[in-house]
């Protein structure tokens, strides 16, 4: 089934998924929900959504696999990655895999709809006025290692050469929700 305003929300947090669903339905979208790559694949056999919102971290899975599957299914689909674990490394990978935009949580329905509208790049975007700080570089490196270890905190801590609790504390300090 194909509708012009069909939206697929891929989110493992049931409460957040239901809230997003209701909000988008009030705006006239036909909303489908999935919580894993397997559920996405099953839904794509009978549906062809034009829009998707994908959480970057789906339990033990990475939402990047869902982005790749959605883009392979329909390259014209507008896909927004929504995450509480934002980093430059995952943003770049999401865009390479077919996402049209990448938003850090907390983001609301207005932010997501605006991201759908901004599917093209803007060459007039100003360059950052100052270089990246050491803390930001550390944060991005941690998230790159987390992504490479499939978001397994113990494995990421081992690869970073730090104690698992130290890494968990660093993640709790900077986590965006």
If one counts the domains in the chain, the total is 2
143 and 76 housed in the same domain:
no
Residue 10 lies in a domain: yes
151 and 109 housed in the same domain:
no
26 and 102 housed in the same domain:
yes
96 and 152 housed in the same domain:
no
d(CA 155, CA 161): 10
Residue 140 pLDDT: 80
Contacts of 58 (CB under 8 A, 6+ apart): 10, 11, 12, 35, 36, 37, 66
Residue 1 lies in a domain: no
Domain that holds residue 61: 6-117
Residue 104 pLDDT: 87
99 and 36 housed in the same domain:
yes
Residue 83 pLDDT: 87
d(CA 53, CA 173): 26
Q: What's the average pLDDT block by block, 10 residues per block, for the chain (177 residues)?
A: 78 91 94 94 94 91 92 94 85 92 88 85 66 76 86 91 90 62
State both tokens at 145: 């290692």
Residue 128 lies in a domain: no
Residue 148 pLDDT: 86
26 and 84 housed in the same domain:
yes
Residue 121 pLDDT: 67
Q: Decide if 100 contacts 70 (C-beta within 8 A).
A: no
Task: Specify the CATH number for the domain of residue 145.
Answer: 1.10.10.60
155 and 87 housed in the same domain:
no
27 and 93 housed in the same domain:
yes
């Amino acid at each position: 089934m194909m509708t012009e305003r069909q939206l697929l929300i891929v989110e493992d947090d049931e409460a957040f998924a239901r809230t997003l669903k209701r909000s988008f339905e009030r705006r006239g979208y036909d909303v489908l929900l999935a919580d894993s790559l397997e559920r996405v694949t099953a839904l794509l056999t009978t549906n062809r959504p034009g829009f998707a919102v994908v959480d970057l971290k789906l339990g033990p899975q990475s939402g990047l696999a869902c982005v790749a599957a959605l883009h392979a299914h329909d390259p014209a689909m507008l896909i927004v990655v929504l995450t509480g674990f934002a980093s430059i490394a995952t943003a770049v990978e999401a865009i390479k895999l077919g996402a049209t935009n990448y938003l850090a949580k907390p983001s609301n329905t207005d932010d997501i709809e605006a991201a759908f509208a901004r599917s093209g790049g803007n060459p007039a975007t100003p360059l950052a006025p100052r270089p990246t700080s050491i803390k930001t570089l550390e944060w991005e490196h941690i998230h790159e290692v987390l992504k490479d270890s499939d978001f397994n905190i113990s494995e990421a801590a081992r690869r970073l050469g730090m104690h698992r609790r130290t890494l968990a504390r660093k993640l709790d300090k900077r986590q965006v929700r």
